[in-house]
Amino acid sequence: MRELALTVLLVTSISPSWASAQDVDEPAVEAALLKKFKNIKRKPGLLTIITHKGPVTFKDNPVDGEGAENSFLVRSYALKSGRIDYLVITHGYEGAGYTLVNGATGNRIDLPGEPELSPSERYYVSSLIDLESGEYPNDIKIFRSSDFGVVFEKNYDDPPQPGEIHMGPDQVRWLSDTSVNVVEKSIIGVKYDKPSFHPTIVKLVNGEWIQKDTK
């Protein structure tokens, strides 16, 4: 993983499994970030990120059962332009999800997993694989860092794979600013110990992001 000026929640691949996040002390990570950034405010049940265009808020819903939500600031991205983006994880009644906040514009984008910047910071890529529990989407998303506009997205669960095949993006890494290596992992039924792997590349070609096999 390329070294960047950022604060990291997880030191994993670009497509972390949710199991790898279970032992992270998110309140402690947030507390450290609150000390670092004066534009981040925490009140009971409310996280506020003050961007150049105004505040972005995440309100907790501390109820038992359906509708419960609990958010934590878990990572910051210091771009070469001087802008800082902020990553928030929100835990719900079933599962969790990430939201990236643009520190300049206040724009926000919901993501399947922790995003990573491309080499020249023009794009982010975010992905997640969950072939066993079925609680999280198998998804990959590439979007511009400037305005968070999505340029490529693939949801492996919609439509479902044929038969009992389950597939997701297992290994995802930037090769260059315009190409991403994506190794797809698939299993049949519950044969978790007998997966198959399919190497591909997602590349910008003539203004369009397309996915091709690399075999």
Question: Per DSSP, what are the bridge partners of residue 211?
Answer: 202
Other CB atoms within 10 Å distance of the CB of residue 20: 12
On the CB side of 22, CA atoms within 13 Å amount to: 5
Other CB atoms within 10 Å distance of the CB of residue 34: 14
Examine residue 33 and state whether it is found in any structural domain, yes or no.
yes
The residue range of the domain holding 38 is 6-157
Q: Is the peptide bond before 159 cis (omega within 30 degrees of 0)?
A: yes
Examine residue 75 and state whether it is found in any structural domain, yes or no.
yes
Examine residue 186 and state whether it is found in any structural domain, yes or no.
no
> Cα–Cα distances in Å, from 12 out to 20, 40, 143, 179?
8, 25, 20, 20
Examine residue 201 and state whether it is found in any structural domain, yes or no.
no
- Number of domains the chain is built from: 1
Handedness of CA 18, 23, 26, 29 (dihedral sign): negative
Examine residue 58 and state whether it is found in any structural domain, yes or no.
yes
pLDDT in tens, the chain (215 residues): 333 333 333 323 333 434 344 468 999 999 999 999 999 999 999 999 999 999 999 999 877 767 778 999 999 999 999 999 999 999 887 778 999 999 999 999 999 999 999 999 999 999 999 987 777 889 999 999 999 999 999 999 876 666 778 899 999 999 999 999 999 999 887 777 889 999 999 999 999 999 999 97
Examine residue 20 and state whether it is found in any structural domain, yes or no.
yes
Examine residue 66 and state whether it is found in any structural domain, yes or no.
yes
